[in-house]
């Protein structure tokens, strides 16, 4: 092993160490890259940095990120999601486990409309967790279904994970959006089936909504609310995704249409105000700035790692893995899963994945299929202890009697369901590749 390759390994170790001691992600990435990159090949590193940063800030596709964030934050802060949860909950209230099924469906809609895990889980936690516990739901089951449903926005487009993966993989955003639709709905369906089976076997864990509570909303009123509350978000999602997948609009153009659509929905609902607009703009700026700062710092890391010969280390590492290409794919997915216990998805996407992808590109692996496998795998990083953000978000809004142990216990079955979906997708690549091929992407 050459001295530069040893520096590459030390740089990765230093990055993990800085993260573990609490240094902010972007600063940890940049610090490790600058120190070890400079040690390896001197000031030449800094001559190359401006062009890499320029490539990030002028990337037209990445302009969709703040627009999609604006759309999601507007729907969350305008509290339109509250009415959505109430209506869908009553639609499925007669079933044992029906409220849990409703939460999954709301998670699908909010995920497609917002794509922001924190906003979805906080909304679901505040509005449904006390009600589920009051209606007799098992506390771990209630916590698990809320956390799992809140993370569906990472696999169901439009998703920030998919946008950034498209940039890393060199694929179009529309292709990954189309590829993620069937796997995302499959995962949602697995959650629903698991909930219904659990409620059938153990109805005491997930009882139906009491009859007197269901009768409080008559059939006519429920139908009217469904039309007014459920249909507009579905229409917005279909318009945004349909225009991208159908090739009518570029992702950035569709994202701007989604932002305007969310603004109009809030206006029609009578909830638009100058204060709300200011809060949405401020939150959008903070989230977008965080994402782009990490992206820019990740360019430094990738540049230094490759300059120090890290790619050759990765190639030799995969040569040691038994099982050929299949074994290497399993090893990559296992590594991403383990990294999810300690790192956020954006760090894994822009720091870890670029280190391994050249090997699979050289082996001719379908990048669309691999991208969806990685996306579904990254979704588990929100649920896995000790640093799963979904767990933190829910704990922050949970009633006092809900312990961290109950939340951890509740997410474990849903992590297993996610891994089951990952195995199915690994065994049947057509689930990801059929739709892009069918529409000619």
pLDDT 10s per residue in the chain (441 long)? 677 778 888 887 888 788 778 777 678 888 888 888 888 777 777 777 787 788 777 777 677 778 877 877 787 677 666 667 767 767 776 778 888 888 888 888 777 766 666 667 776 777 778 878 877 888 899 889 988 988 888 888 877 788 888 888 888 888 898 899 899 999 999 999 999 999 888 888 888 776 666 565 656 666 777 777 777 777 777 777 777 767 777 777 877 888 888 888 888 878 888 888 898 888 888 878 877 887 788 778 777 877 777 666 666 666 777 777 888 899 888 888 887 776 667 777 877 788 788 888 888 889 999 999 999 988 887 788 766 777 777 877 777 778 878 888 889 999 999 999 999 999 999 999 998 888 765
The DSSP call for residue 154 is G
Predicted TM-score (pTM) of the model is 0.77
Separation of alpha carbons 172 and 151, rounded Å: 23
What are residue 232's phi and psi, to 5 degrees? -60, -45
pLDDT, residue 260, reads 87
**CA distances in angstroms from 340 to 194, 350, 374, 383, listed in the order given:** 24, 13, 11, 9
What are residue 364's phi and psi, to 5 degrees? 80, 20
- Cα–Cα nearest to 351, from 35, 1, 11: 11
With beta carbons less than 8 A apart as the criterion, state whether 214 and 90 touch.
Answer: yes
pLDDT, residue 29, reads 80
What are residue 170's phi and psi, to 5 degrees? 75, 25
Q: Residue 71's Cα: distance from chain center in Å?
A: 16
Separation of alpha carbons 192 and 198, rounded Å: 10
**Mutual orientation of helices 274-307 and 353-362 as an angle, nearest 10°?**
60
With beta carbons less than 8 A apart as the criterion, state whether 254 and 240 touch.
Answer: yes
**CA distances in angstroms from 324 to 307, 328, 357, 427, 431, listed in the order given:** 27, 6, 16, 16, 23
- Cα–Cα nearest to 177, from 397, 17, 375: 375
């Amino acid at each position: 092993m050459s001295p530069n390759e040893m520096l590459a390994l030390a740089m990765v170790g230093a990055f993990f160490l800085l993260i573990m001691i609490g240094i902010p992600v972007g600063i940890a990435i940049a610090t490790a890259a600058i120190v070890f990159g400079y040690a390896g090949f001197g000031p030449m590193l800094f001559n190359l940095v401006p062009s890499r940063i320029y490539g990030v800030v002028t990337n037209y596709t990445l302009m969709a990120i703040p627009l999609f964030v604006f759309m999601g934050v507007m729907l969350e802060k305008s509290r339109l999601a509250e009415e959505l949860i109430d209506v869908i909950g009553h639609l499925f209230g007669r079933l044992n486990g029906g409220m849990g099924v409703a939460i999954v469906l709301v998670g699908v809609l909010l995920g497609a409309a917002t794509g922001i895990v924190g906003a979805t889980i906080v909304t679901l936690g505040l509005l449904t967790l006390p009600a589920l516990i009051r209606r007799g739901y098992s506390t771990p089951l209630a916590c698990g279904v809320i956390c799992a449903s809140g993370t569906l926005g990472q696999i169901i487009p439009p998703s920030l994970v998919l946008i950034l993966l498209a940039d890393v993989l060199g694929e179009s955003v529309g292709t990954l959006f189309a590829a993620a639709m069937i796997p995302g709905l499959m995962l949602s369906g697995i959650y629903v089936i698991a909930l219904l089976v659990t409620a059938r076997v153990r109805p005491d864990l997930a009882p139906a909504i009491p009859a007197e509570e269901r009768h409080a909303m008559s059939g006519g009123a429920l139908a009217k609310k469904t039309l007014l509350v459920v249909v507009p978000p579905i229409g917005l999602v279909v318009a945004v995704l349909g225009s991208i997948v159908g090739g009518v609009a570029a992702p950035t153009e569709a994202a701007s249409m989604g932002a305007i659509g969310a603004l109009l929905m809030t206006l029609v609902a009578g909830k638009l105000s100058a204060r709300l607009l200011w809060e949405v703009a401020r939150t959008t700026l903070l989230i977008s700035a965080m994402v782009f700062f990490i992206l820019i710092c990740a360019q430094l890391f990738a540049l230094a790692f490759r300059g120090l010969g890290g790619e050759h280390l990765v190639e030799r590492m995969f040569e040691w893995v038994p099982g050929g290409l299949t074994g290497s794919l399993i090893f990559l997915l296992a590594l991403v899963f383990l990294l999810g216990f300690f790192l956020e998805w954006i760090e894994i996407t822009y720091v870890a994945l670029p280190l391994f992808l050249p090997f699979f590109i050289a082996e001719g692996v379908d990048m669309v299929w691999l991208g969806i496998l990685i996306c579904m795998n990254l979704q588990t990083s929100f649920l896995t202890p000790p640093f799963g953000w979904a767990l933190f978000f829910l704990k922050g809004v949970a009633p006092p009697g809900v312990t961290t142990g109950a939340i951890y216990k509740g997410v474990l079955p849903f992590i297993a369901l996610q891994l089951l979906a990952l195995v199915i997708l690994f065994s049947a690549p057509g689930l990801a590749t059929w739709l892009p091929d069918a529409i000619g992407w």
